[in-house]
């Protein structure tokens, strides 16, 4: 045969290295794109509004939080819409991606039992689909920016891609791990919903970071151990672009760290990205160990 | 030739849980005490399949043949050992696995092919061929949920065989679908063979093994018991099937024999594993020996198709018996009667017997293709009212077919070809 020299060799064994897994996943990258497309297509196939749903979600959240926090609780954050959306988009990407990934292997049992491919792809496809939603929701944010004639910070915008990569790494690592766990303990999915709810309120999305950080004073780093916090802060710093604006009541309102520069943010983002990479390697290792049993367990 | 599939010391263990705990809550409650039984589906499997070879995996249900195929396909992971597959692999395990009902046929072709590991560019190149093969030109842009099951299977097969695999794994999918579809599948398999691709086949059809395989492996209870030419493998497979049957019979017989004393009570129906005829025997004449004789008996335990066979029945009568008939019946391994007759029907009356003697049944050419054949010998009165001795399927002979012909009966066919300008030309007019 003419193509004998370029034939890939596949090793099937329960001892595969993380490198082998990454190579396998890379080889199936087209499937990843195909699965993301499938997920989006199937989701919107029978709905009249289609992709508009994606954009409606943050708009509705905005309406609810606006009523509760601005009108009822009077938190006093100026241009609350921009502030909320810049954090909420990050959170939505993380939470829908992670929740989707967790259920992905069990949800695709029919394929997992019959066809061989790196199953991490299923979890990655869920994260990928939520990334697409993220960009759609970003359109809502863009509309808000235009509507309010609001200018983000050009310098801090440079950090947004870094933050996004760190977030995707974290979501992928946790997603792959939980997808495997969910095969053995199916209620992981439901447990995760509760954890995500608590996690959301532990992240400064609807309230301001300084509300907590100032109270903790020198222990504020504890608050930033939540890996989503640095990412949300970066988005807020870049897009909302105000650290201590004049609040709705006329007094100065502490929202973001006042004297934190580019490096302060960058350092934290790199820490999150680094930790996520380690976590991802662990997740691939764990996944590789148990993947061979998926077909039996499902 | 290089190896296409290399299986090294592979073992696969399944855990059979009495109760399966699939939620965190249950797992916490039953922490550390989940009862299960271990079951080795595969043990110490070493197998090298060369490039361009077609290898069959034979075995009865539960022998581990499908598990091995799934391990090679990478769907299951071996508990220990490793498998190396060179080149692109396609598995026809379940056709259309991964089709999504909400997507159209076209979208599913692309998705399915990429799940199977085919690059998008190549799918696009082969798309028309896939659709033509599936005969779905009109419906390719309809949602798959509106397809009939036949259309679904056709599309699945079309995608799988157009994968351009180096190694093709085929499970018993060929057994599904109508005859036309089966022929199409088989044609494709043969084309792949001609193109020098490697094929691994799982089946329990000995005929199919003979028809398409270069070599075959036999699995029994997860162990590779034979590996060789299709003929040898089929023989080993039949032998193992017979042994398992025997072992099973002994198990059933044992308790019945223990309760032998209860047999005096006539109202109790004892299943002692004897046939109705065997229960009637009075042993006034005993069959002392039954022998199968054939020319190759010295060097091999089986006959070749068309060889002569003699079945000699030695008897010992304790008293003078009148009008005795010796009967013979031959069954195949699946219990079908192949042939039955007796001395009376054959026009050679035995007449009266006393003391010892031998009755021989002979054929010049055994018209059987391969298989294990079970021989029943009965000695009874003319009207079958009295049974002297009867041995129901206690003896056997085997026929092994070294050739490529399939089926049950050996026809000594001669082939000639007549062309238009030949001597027999007037036949064509």
Residue range A128-158, pLDDT digits in tens: 999 998 998 898 889 889 988 888 888 888 9
Q: Which of B207, B238, B269 corresponds to the end of one domain? A: B238
What is the edge-to-edge ordering of all strands in the sheet holding B80-86?
Answer: A9-12, B80-86, B3-17, B36-50
Do B233 and B293 sit in the same domain of this protein? no
CA distance B313 to B361: 8
Question: Residue B49: helix, strand or coil by DSSP?
Answer: strand
Q: Is-contact B93 B200, C-beta < 8 A? A: no
- H-type alpha helices, chain A: 18-27, 29-44, 52-65, 80-107, 109-114, 120-147, 154-157, 159-184, 188-201, 209-216, 220-223, 228-235, 262-297
Residue % of chain B over a pLDDT of 90: 6
Residue-by-residue pLDDT tens, chain B, 429 positions: 578 898 988 888 887 776 666 677 777 776 666 677 788 888 889 999 998 899 988 887 778 888 888 888 888 888 888 888 888 888 777 666 668 887 888 888 888 888 877 888 888 888 988 888 888 888 888 888 888 877 887 888 788 778 778 888 888 765 556 677 777 777 888 888 888 889 998 877 777 787 788 898 988 888 888 888 887 887 787 777 666 655 655 555 444 444 443 333 333 334 455 677 777 888 889 998 888 888 887 777 788 888 899 999 999 998 888 889 999 999 887 677 889 898 888 888 888 888 899 999 999 888 888 778 889 999 998 888 888 998 888 888 888 887 777 778 888 788 888 777 656 656 655
CA distance B87 to A106: 29
Q: Identify the band that residue A233 occupies on the pLDDT scale cut at 50, 70 and 90.
A: very high
The boundaries of the domain holding residue B382 are 283-422
Q: Which of B201, B220, B238 corresponds to the end of one domain? A: B238
Q: Considering the domain boundaries, does residue B264 fall inside one?
A: no
- List the domain boundaries for chain A: 16-289
How many inter-chain contacts (A to B, CB under 8 Å) are there?
119
Mean pLDDT over each residue of chain A, to the nearest integer: 86
CA distance B125 to B162: 11
Find the CB nearest A42 among B23, B76, B100: B100
- Looking at the 3D structure of chain B, how many domains does it have? 2
- Residue A28: partners with Cβ closer than 8 Å, 6 or more residues away: A117, A118, A121, B114, B117
Q: Is-contact A144 A250, C-beta < 8 A? A: no
Q: Considering the domain boundaries, does residue B251 fall inside one?
A: no
Q: Does A110 touch chain B (CB under 8 A)?
A: yes
Q: Considering the domain boundaries, does residue B267 fall inside one?
A: no
Nearest CA in chain A to B98: A111
Nearest CA in chain A to B14: A296
Q: Which of residues 358-387 of B touch A (CB under 8 A)?
A: none
Find the CB nearest A14 among B77, B89, B116: B77
Q: Does A185 touch chain B (CB under 8 A)?
A: yes
Whether pLDDT at A98 is above 90: yes
pLDDT value, residue B266? 38
Four-residue CA torsion sign, B365, B369, B374, B378? negative
Among A36, A47, A56, A201, residue whose Cα is nearest residue A125: A36
Report the pLDDT averaged over residues A274-292.
90
pLDDT value, residue B258? 43
Start-to-end C-alpha separation, chain B:
51
Q: Considering the domain boundaries, does residue B266 fall inside one?
A: no
Number of other CB atoms surrounding residue B249 within 10 Å: 11
CA distance A206 to A289: 40
pLDDT value, residue A87? 92
Q: Considering the domain boundaries, does residue B265 fall inside one?
A: no
Q: Which of B213, B238, B263 corresponds to the end of one domain? A: B238
Q: Is-contact B155 B105, C-beta < 8 A? A: yes
Q: Does B142 touch chain A (CB under 8 A)?
A: no
pLDDT in tens, B253-269: 444 444 443 333 333 33
- Residue A60: partners with Cβ closer than 8 Å, 6 or more residues away: none
User: A107 vs chain B: nearest CA distance in angstroms?
Assistant: 12
Q: Which residues of B touch A15 (CB under 8 A)?
A: 82
Find the CB nearest A115 among B87, B116, B119: B116
Q: Which of A12-21, A270-279, B353-362 holds the top average pLDDT?
A: A270-279
Q: Which residues of A touch B76 (CB under 8 A)?
A: 292, 295-296
Nearest CA in chain A to B3: A9
pLDDT value, residue B428? 58
Phi-psi region of B142 (alpha: psi -120 to 50; beta: other; left: phi over 0): beta
CA distance B402 to A282: 55
Do B159 and B291 sit in the same domain of this protein? no
Q: Does A50 touch chain B (CB under 8 A)?
A: no
Q: Do A114 and B120 touch (CB under 8 A)?
A: no
Find the CB nearest A13 among B27, B82, B196: B82
pLDDT in tens, A25-80: 888 888 888 889 888 887 777 666 677 777 888 888 888 888 888 888 878 788 88
- Residue A251: partners with Cβ closer than 8 Å, 6 or more residues away: A76
Q: Does B80 touch chain A (CB under 8 A)?
A: yes
User: B268 vs chain A: nearest CA distance in angstroms?
Assistant: 46
Q: Considering the domain boundaries, does residue B261 fall inside one?
A: no
Q: Do A12 and B77 touch (CB under 8 A)?
A: yes
Q: Considering the domain boundaries, does residue B276 fall inside one?
A: no
Q: Does A293 touch chain B (CB under 8 A)?
A: yes
Q: Report residue B91 as tokens.
A: 């598995």
- Residue B68: partners with Cβ closer than 8 Å, 6 or more residues away: B7, B10, B12, B42, B45, B57, B219
Q: Which residues of B touch A193 (CB under 8 A)?
A: none
Q: Which residues of A touch B115 (CB under 8 A)?
A: 31, 34, 111, 115, 117
Q: Which helix (H) or strand (E) holds B356?
A: strand B351-363
pLDDT value, residue B249? 53
Do B106 and B17 sit in the same domain of this protein? yes
Phi-psi region of A222 (alpha: psi -120 to 50; beta: other; left: phi over 0): alpha
pLDDT in tens, B75-101: 888 888 888 888 888 877 766 666 888
Nearest CA in chain B to A11: B84
Q: Is-contact B367 B330, C-beta < 8 A? A: no
Q: ∠ at Cα A270 (A269, A272), nearest 5°?
A: 65
Do B354 and B209 sit in the same domain of this protein? no
Could you give the count of Cα atoms lying within 13 Å of A30 in the half-sphere of its Cβ?
15
Find the CB nearest A111 among B27, B88, B115: B115
Number of other CB atoms surrounding residue B346 within 10 Å: 13
Q: Considering the domain boundaries, does residue B263 fall inside one?
A: no
Q: Is-contact B57 B200, C-beta < 8 A? A: yes
Q: Which residues of B touch A296 (CB under 8 A)?
A: 14, 76
pLDDT value, residue B260? 41
Among A107, A248, A234, residue whose Cα is nearest residue A179: A107
Find the CB nearest B111 among A38, A291, A293: A38
pLDDT value, residue A230? 92
User: B275 vs chain A: nearest CA distance in angstroms?
Assistant: 43
Nearest CA in chain A to B87: A7
Four-residue CA torsion sign, B161, B165, B171, B172? positive
Four-residue CA torsion sign, A138, A142, A143, A147? positive
């Amino acid at each position: 045969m003419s193509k004998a020299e370029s034939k890939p060799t596949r090793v099937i064994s329960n001892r595969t290295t993380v490198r082998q897994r990454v190579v396998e996943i890379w080889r199936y990258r087209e499937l990843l794109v195909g699965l993301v497309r499938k997920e989006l297509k199937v989701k919107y196939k029978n709905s009249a509004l289609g992709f508009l749903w994606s954009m409606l979600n943050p708009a509705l959240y905005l309406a609810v939080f606006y009523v509760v926090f601005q009108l009822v609780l009077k938190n006093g954050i100026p241009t609350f819409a921009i502030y909320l959306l810049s954090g909420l988009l990050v959170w939505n990407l993380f939470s829908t991606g992670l929740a989707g990934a967790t259920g992905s292997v069990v949800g695709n049992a029919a394929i997992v039992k019959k066809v061989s491919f790196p199953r991490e792809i299923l979890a990655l496809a869920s994260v990928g689909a939520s990334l697409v939603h993220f960009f759609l929701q970003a359109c809502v944010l863009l509309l808000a920016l235009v509507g309010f004639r609001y200018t983000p910070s050009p310098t801090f915008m440079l950090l947004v891609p870094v933050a996004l990569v760190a977030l995707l790494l974290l979501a992928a690592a946790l997603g792959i791990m939980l997808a495997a766990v969910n095969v053995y303990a199916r209620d992981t999915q439901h447990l995760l919903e509760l954890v995500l709810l608590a996690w959301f309120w532990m992240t400064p999305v609807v309230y301001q970071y300084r509300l907590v950080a100032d109270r903790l004073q020198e222990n504020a780093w504890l608050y930033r151990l939540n890996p989503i916090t640095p990412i949300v802060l970066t988005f807020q710093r870049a897009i909302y672009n105000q650290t201590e604006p004049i609040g709705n009541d006329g007094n100065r309102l502490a929202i973001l760290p006042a004297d934190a520069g580019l490096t302060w943010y960058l350092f934290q983002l790199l820490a999150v990205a680094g930790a996520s990479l380690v976590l991802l390697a662990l997740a691939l290792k764990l996944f590789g160990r148990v993947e061979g049993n998926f077909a039996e367990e499902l | 030739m290089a190896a296409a599939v290399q299986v090294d010391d592979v073992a696969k263990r399944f855990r059979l849980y009495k109760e399966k705990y699939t939620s965190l809550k249950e797992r916490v409650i039953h922490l550390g005490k989940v009862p299960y039984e271990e079951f080795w589906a595969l043990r110490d499997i070493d197998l090298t399949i060369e490039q361009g070879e077609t290898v069959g995996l034979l075995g009865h249900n539960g022998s581990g043949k499908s598990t091995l195929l799934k391990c090679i396909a990478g769907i299951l992971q071996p508990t220990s050992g490793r498998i190396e597959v060179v080149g692109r692999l396609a598995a026809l395990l379940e056709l259309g696995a991964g089709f999504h009902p909400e997507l159209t046929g076209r979208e599913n072709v692309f998705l399915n092919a990429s799940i199977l590991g085919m690059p998008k560019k190549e799918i696009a190149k082969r798309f028309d061929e896939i659709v033509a093969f599936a005969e779905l030109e009109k419906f390719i842009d309809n949602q798959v949920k509106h397809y009939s099951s036949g259309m679904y299977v056709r599309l699945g097969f079309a995608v799988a065989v157009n994968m351009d695999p180096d190694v093709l794994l085929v499970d018993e999918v060929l057994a599904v679908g109508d005859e036309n579809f089966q022929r199409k599948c088989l044609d494709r398999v043969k084309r792949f063979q001609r193109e020098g691709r490697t094929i691994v086949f799982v089946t329990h059809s000995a005929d199919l093994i003979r028809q398409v395989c270069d070599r075959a492996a036999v699995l029994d209870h997860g162990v590779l018991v034979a590996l060789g030419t299709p003929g040898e493998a089929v023989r080993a497979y039949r032998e193992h099937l017979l042994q398992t049957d025997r072992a099973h019979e002994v198990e059933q017989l044992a308790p019945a024999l223990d309760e032998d004393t209860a047999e005096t009570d006539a109202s109790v129906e004892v299943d002692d594993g004897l046939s109705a005829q065997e229960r009637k025997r009075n042993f006034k004449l005993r069959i002392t020996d039954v022998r199968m004789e054939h020319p190759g008996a010295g060097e091999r335990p089986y006959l070749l198709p068309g060889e002569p066979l003699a079945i000699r029945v030695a008897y010992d009568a304790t008293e003078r018996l009148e009008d005795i008939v010796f009967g013979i019946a031959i069954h195949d391994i699946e219990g079908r009667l192949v042939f039955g007759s007796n001395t009376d029907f054959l026009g050679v009356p035995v007449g009266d017997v006393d003391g010892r003697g031998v009755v021989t049944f002979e054929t010049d050419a055994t018209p059987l293709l391969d298989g294990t054949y079970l021989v029943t010998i009965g000695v009874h009165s003319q009207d079958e009212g009295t049974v002297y001795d009867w041995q129901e399927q206690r003896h056997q002979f085997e026929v092994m077919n070294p050739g490529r012909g399939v089926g049950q009966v050996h026809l000594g066919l001669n082939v000639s070809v007549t062309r238009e300008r030949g001597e027999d030309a007037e036949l064509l007019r």
